[in-house]
Amino acid sequence: MKKETSIATAIGKIILIGEHAVVYGQPALAIPFPETKIKTIINREKGPVSLECYFYKGLFSKAPDRLLGLTTIVREIVSSFNEKLKDFNITIESSILPERGMGSSAAVAVATVKALYDFFNRPLTEEDLFKWSNMSEKIVHGNPSGIDTAIIIGEKPLYYVKGKPFIPFPFELDAYLVVADTGELGETQAAVSAVKKMVDSNPHKVKPLIRQLGNLTRAAMDSIEKGDIVRLGMIMNNAHAILDELGVSNEKLNYFVSVATKNGALGAKLTGGGRGGCMIALAASKEEAEFICKKLILSGAENTWISNMGVDRK
């Protein structure tokens, strides 16, 4: 029987460490971030397909280029089903603003692929979910490592190496993660291609930086396994300094990192693509995390969240 409505959801992610280096085969650690929630709703409705989301409301066929990742996979999926692109509408609701380094573009893709498969009554394998969602990411970000798609599909802390099977990395750290939104749109695509330009034009200087980031990710894993939050904080600071050197931080992110560390954070860094978006900071207790959030809001953060590091995350 034909479905009248299909609804699917996906949550966001936070990269703890390893962003950008992960594009070059180095490992990265990511955790799910349920505060970011994307919901795709597909309703049967006679006529041409329409689309409603943060950036656009109108005919699907007239959607702007910035939605090309999404519109391409919708077209391709429907055509792979031998169905017609008509008689339904798509609404995408998001609990946070896009381009914050929280994986909203991958989450939009994941939720929409799931909703389309359900709407057309097709069984969805994890491979197909990854393939379609990452196809959208390739269009949006140019050269994605696949980490955003992998963590958003898996919804579990993840140790990720590009092209390798996903390795869940469960951990329980007695610490809290502060996430602060700079309020500035991140620029993942521009940041990823700027790093590529640096790698190509100055490999002797830049490749060691990328390797250093990989080593920091391995050291972060070791610290997490040993429950050494002080060392983990220092590792985060070092990673931020390298990301800054790679040109993917900006003034506000650097300012937030210094506000967090001056106010008790064990360490802090940008998260995700950078050049805007969010900063993360490690705090030893909930009270300290709340204090850091207060200071960050006073310093201009648009929003802050506190995430426990697995203590009661399942």
Catalytic residues: 148
Q: How far is the CB of 138 from ligand MEV (least distance, A)?
A: 9
Question: Of residues 98, 272, 276, 310, which one binds ligand MEV by CB under 6 A?
Answer: 272
Question: Of residues 10, 14, 16, 23, which one binds ligand MEV by CB under 6 A?
Answer: 23
Nearest one of 242, 163, 180, 183 to 14, comparing CA atoms: 180
245 token code pair? 């050197």
Using the minimum distance from each CB to ligand MEV, give the nearer residue, 114 or 141: 141
Using the minimum distance from each CB to ligand MEV, give the nearer residue, 147 or 279: 147
Question: Of residues 144, 154, 267, 276, which one binds ligand MEV by CB under 6 A?
Answer: 144
What is the C-alpha to C-alpha distance for residues 154 and 51, in angstroms, rounded to an integer?
A: 27
Say whether residue 145 binds ligand MEV (CB under 6 A).
yes
Question: Of residues 8, 16, 22, 173, which one binds ligand MEV by CB under 6 A?
Answer: 22
CA distances from 247 to 127, 195, 217, 253 (A): 34, 7, 19, 12
Residue whose tokens read 């060392």: 231
Say whether residue 273 binds ligand MEV (CB under 6 A).
yes
Say whether residue 235 binds ligand MEV (CB under 6 A).
no
What is the C-alpha to C-alpha distance for residues 297 and 118, in angstroms, rounded to an integer?
A: 41
Buried b (16+ CB within 10 A) or exposed e, 125-161: eeeebbebbbbbbebbbeebbbbbbbbbbbeebbbbb
Q: How far is the CB of 248 from ligand MEV (least distance, A)?
A: 7
What is the C-alpha to C-alpha distance for residues 72 and 74, in angstroms, rounded to an integer?
A: 5
What is the C-alpha to C-alpha distance for residues 271 and 225, in angstroms, rounded to an integer?
A: 21
Using the minimum distance from each CB to ligand MEV, give the nearer residue, 27 or 144: 144
Using the minimum distance from each CB to ligand MEV, give the nearer residue, 35 or 52: 35
Q: How far is the CB of 115 from ligand MEV (least distance, A)?
A: 23
Say whether residue 74 binds ligand MEV (CB under 6 A).
no
Contact set with ligand MEV (CB under 6 A) = 15, 19-20, 22-23, 141, 144-145, 147-148, 188, 192, 272-273
